[in-house]
Amino acid sequence: MLRQKPQPVDILILGAGWTSTFLIPQLDSASIVHAETTTTGRDGTIPFIFDPESSNREPYKQLPSARTVLVTFPLVGLGQSKRITSLYQTVHGSNNRWIQLGSTEIFNQASDWNTEDSVYDKSHARAIAEDELLTEVGGCVLNLAGLYGGKREPKNWLSRLAKSKEDIAKRKAVHFIHGEDVARAIIAVHRKPSPGKRWIIADLRVYDWYDLIMSFSALTGEESSVDAEKRLQFGKWVGELMVEENVRALPRSMEQLGRKLDSRGFWKFHEIWPRHSRLA
């Protein structure tokens, strides 16, 4: 029995996870033909697992040819980007563009403002793979700030971010981007490619962790009494740190917040702006 060849698509999403819950509705609304993979093939997706050690082309034959291939899972170190792109292109040709979702954590070299053109940690495993994608196939990398939206709520992250007052004292600037705006950014790159370019994707704001923690400590919700008590304790610690550090009011000044991200370049280039321009 002959295996049916998958129909071509505009966008192929390798790894349909959290991002796809925002991306797929926008693709459908814009009549952009798409296909998705998951490791299990759930919900009508294509089963696909990237094995960085394998040169077998068979798994790539069940994937459709696509104008844009979006990689949502991390590629790390030297060789992985070259392997996944070369195997796919061996089967489907080279008439495709690649987008890799990355993290802004690689921008840790400059202590003040960082743009997409700033120095970054080239020894970082994800940066190495991203650089390879940029050079091998002229891909585009979207380095994403803190992701939120849907079930991802920053107010619920406090207990994972800090265990003590000393932990909180280390927290300075933080940046976010809503899932809906991540999806809009992906579609923008699909429509207006920027080959070989790395972009910072954030909502154009710099947040002060002290300010957020103090705000979150006042929120009430369905959390347990233990979680509510933790929030109040964190708020108390911030108040004490403000006195100790002579911080008169929140948010702290830009000079006090250290490393910051300037994401204007992406939004200006694509002539769109974030819809979620402030953390709710």
The stretch 238-256 carries a mean pLDDT of 97
d(CA 278, CA 251): 14
pLDDT digits 0-9 by tens, 182-206: 999 999 999 999 999 999 999 999 9
DSSP-derived secondary structure letter, 122: T
Grade residue 223 by pLDDT with cuts at 50, 70 and 90. low
Based on the structure, what is the number of domains in the chain?
A: 1
Q: What is the pLDDT of residue 231?
A: 85
Q: Is 221 within the bounds of a domain?
A: no
Q: Is 212 within the bounds of a domain?
A: no
Measured in degrees and rounded to the nearest 5, phi and psi for residue 198 equal -105, 135
For the chain, the first-to-last Cα distance in angstroms comes to 54
Q: Which domain holds residue 123?
A: 9-153+176-204+259-270
- Tell me which residue has tokens 């709710």: 280
CATH code for the domain in which residue 101 is found: 3.40.50.720
97 strand-pairing partners: 68
Q: Is 120 within the bounds of a domain?
A: yes
Structure token digits, residue 46: 């294509």
The stretch 102-122 carries a mean pLDDT of 95
The stretch 83-87 carries a mean pLDDT of 98
What residues contact 3, with CB distance under 8 A and at least 6 apart? 61, 62
Q: Is 17 within the bounds of a domain?
A: yes
Average pLDDT value for the chain: 94
Q: What is the pLDDT of residue 224?
A: 59
Structure token digits, residue 75: 């590629």
DSSP-derived secondary structure letter, 123: T
Q: What is the pLDDT of residue 158?
A: 84
Q: What is the pLDDT of residue 210?
A: 97
Q: Is 232 within the bounds of a domain?
A: no
pLDDT digits 0-9 by tens, 118-169: 999 999 999 999 999 999 999 999 999 999 999 999 988 888 888 899 999 9
Q: What is the pLDDT of residue 1?
A: 41
Tell me how far CA of residue 114 lies from CA of 109, 118, 124, 263, in angstroms. Answer: 9, 5, 17, 9
